[in-house]
Amino acid sequence: MMKSSGLGIAITGSGSAVPETAFDNQGLTQLVETSDEWIATRTGIKERRVAGINESLTSLGTQAAKEAIAMAEITAADIDLIILTTSTPDDLFGSAARIQAELGATKAAAFDMTAACSGFIFGLVTASQFIRTGVYQNILLVSADILSRWVDWSDRRTCILFGDGAGAVVLQANQSDRLLGFEIRSDGTQNDCLNLPFQGEPQTLIPGVEISQGTYRPMTMKGQEVYRFAVQKVPEVIEKALHRAEVAVDKIDWLVMHQANQRILDAVAQRLKVAPEKVISNLAKYGNTSAASIPIAIDEAVRAGKIQPGDTIATAGFGAGLSWGAAIFQWGR
């Protein structure tokens, strides 16, 4: 039964790219007072990738996009729209159009959108609206972040968590509707839990005309509050999306959550009564790659032959905003 009142959507390709340089927990002990044991037991993270001077949001995003386009068996020229979800563009005016140019996706409109670590879910939902309404047939969603540019590398409460990377999927108009349900939420009253704020100094241009100029300050986070928020809200939003999808929790083949902390993944799975072997985790290798974490995890599982066509996947993102959301879909056409 078709649950939505629009055209069908399928996710037909995935791709991912991470920087070359791996930075392990042992290496971090040279920067801050920490240990491999503390990081591994509190988060599940063993190492993360960090982008070097020759790598960029555009280059990682483009690489992930090329793989997704190839898997979907379309060409860049077929793409109608490119949405890049990122909090760390190479250019504040946006990086989606740079990716469009690198791909040669000449027909595609391209724009950036920001929903922090929920970027993939919010991007997926946004992209799907253009297909539901019949406006576009082929959409490339790239979710990428280079948080190493903005992490405070002297703050052991945050710098141990994050890594860089890019993931991408292709969404296509499809006869059968594979996007079964979603729910997205925001709570700006808790905005101060996770910030990467602009901080300006007053500057007087001419008498009576004062502006503020400066730059973005390194990330700040209230870790325990974000932890509590995630463990409470993520199960709720997944249940809501499952309800909309008319899918029972025991029919989920894979649970792919934003890779923030293994303890969060375990707690959410336990609360939903999802078996641990259905929970996809690559935290140990990449840490928290922000918007990129869900599509990287999906892409790896697809290429490893874990996720198969027709499998039912529950995805959930959460993070700064605060924002959170879930989407339920079946893989492939």
**Residue from 25, 43, 100, 148 in contact with ligand UT7 (CB under 6 A):** 43
Burial of 219 per CB tally in 10 Å (0-12, 13-18, 19+) = buried
159 is catalytic: no
Residue closer to ligand UT7 by CB (options 38, 216) is 38
Site for ligand UT7 in 225-244 (CB under 6 A): 226-227, 230
Q: What are phi and psi of 263, to 5 degrees?
A: -65, -35
- With tokens 């990377």, the residue in question is 165
**Residue from 212, 224, 232, 308 in contact with ligand UT7 (CB under 6 A):** 224
User: Do the beta carbons of residue 150 and residue 196 sit within 8 Å?
Assistant: yes
The radius of gyration computed from the CA coordinates of the chain, to the nearest angstrom, equals 19
CA neighbor of 196 nearest in space, from 230, 145, 250: 145
**Residue from 61, 319, 321, 325 in contact with ligand UT7 (CB under 6 A):** 319
Site map 2..41 versus ligand UT7, x via CB under 6 A: --------------------------------x---xx--
- Binding of ligand UT7 by 156 (CB under 6 A): yes
**Residue from 143, 261, 282, 323 in contact with ligand UT7 (CB under 6 A):** 261
* DSSP label at residue 279: B
- Per-residue b/e over 130-162, b at no fewer than 16 CB within 10 Å? bbbeeebbbbbbbbbbbbbebbeeeebebbbbb
Residue closer to ligand UT7 by CB (options 56, 293) is 293
- Binding of ligand UT7 by 288 (CB under 6 A): yes
* Three-state secondary structure call for residue 173: strand
**Residue from 11, 117, 140, 291 in contact with ligand UT7 (CB under 6 A):** 117
**Residue from 78, 90, 223, 306 in contact with ligand UT7 (CB under 6 A):** 223
- Binding of ligand UT7 by 289 (CB under 6 A): no
243 is catalytic: no
* Measured distance CA(24)–CA(315) in Å, rounded: 27
* Three-state secondary structure call for residue 16: strand
Q: What are phi and psi of 305, to 5 degrees?
A: 80, 10
- For the bound state, the minimum distance from the C-beta of residue 267 to ligand UT7, rounded and expressed in Å, comes to 11
Query: Mind telling me the catalytic residues?
Result: 117, 258, 288
Which residues of the chain form contacts with ligand UT7 (CB under 6 A)? 34, 38-39, 42-43, 117, 156-157, 160, 221, 223-224, 226-227, 230, 260-261, 288, 319
